[in-house]
Structure 1
């Protein structure tokens, strides 16, 4: 799994933590399963945390948001998000070492959140702005957070649509790659990826918080059938972190 999935859980936590303090820093470690056929099927990544939530904009790791409209019921935001999803053939197995590298890219677009008594409903529409995949992704998600004493428990569930161009860049094998590597050609179509995750946080005091998080992405068939894919039905990310809020 990529850092994109780690950030999902931590952005979710930081958004709620920002109610008490706008600036949060921290560090942790994450354990992830790779979506690709890598030699090492599990990765361990250091996890720096940095988030700032103001009235007009926010910064959360690789994501920047500019609030166009915001009140207690809803929020409309312009988003620029650096998606760290990538494929590096030097870590792959067998003939996959001969295929091309898939680079991370910058997405930009718009997000809308509706705040309700049963949770927050968020939709984002993002387009690749660096021309790597030239693809688009649309995300719809529900999230909720419950506080009790020093504990906070958050849950998120959603679905992400990836366009045909997005899937073909990250999971497709074109004719030239096939001839060079011997890997069979593959041209995936668009796909839907359901996901779910949770975050548990314990506040030692108003500044210091310990965080435990985990999530799972249910791999769509269009990605699962790719010669690049690990073939796993579920990709996971879990980890721990400690944060300090100013």
Structure 2
């Protein structure tokens, strides 16, 4: 994979996905932070279903803190790891109020100091909320980066570092969402839709699935 190919990949993805953004539903920075924390090892659809009701009663740190850990669990119990997430979110709300005036901080250091917020969540907030060219590597991006040859790596951090190094500057702000959406709807974990893929001729995946005479065929 060379830089010319990488640029073409992002150019085509940007054309195919003209408005790349998160599919999490939110109205305020606080709501986005909560939704991203809840989305760890969970689908955006399950998070949106929970927050649709949760944010009606607790859309600020003060209200969520007043709801309490047990009260919060009632809204998020169908989301994976909900016990840990409820505990972290209540502690997060307390810290936002005590150290940040109830506002979502703008720096990586401050974000990663919040309970339940790791590097990936901080990257999402910095990118989606504050427009910084960070690339949060989730399972979709990890798969796409390795499968296509765009930025192969054995660990999430290695893939993140390569994407930061190789992604053309003008695409860095949107790269996170372009790759997630491509992985979610086209370059899926099982049965990737290679015949519908706008970068199939640039992709270096050796087991591409293309339609030939109505039958699936592998191609190099």
Same-fold call, TM > 0.5? no
Higher helix share: 2
- Give TM-score, length-normalised by structure 1: 0.28
Per residue, is there more strand in 1 or in 2? 1
TM-score of the superposed pair, with normalisation by structure 2: 0.30
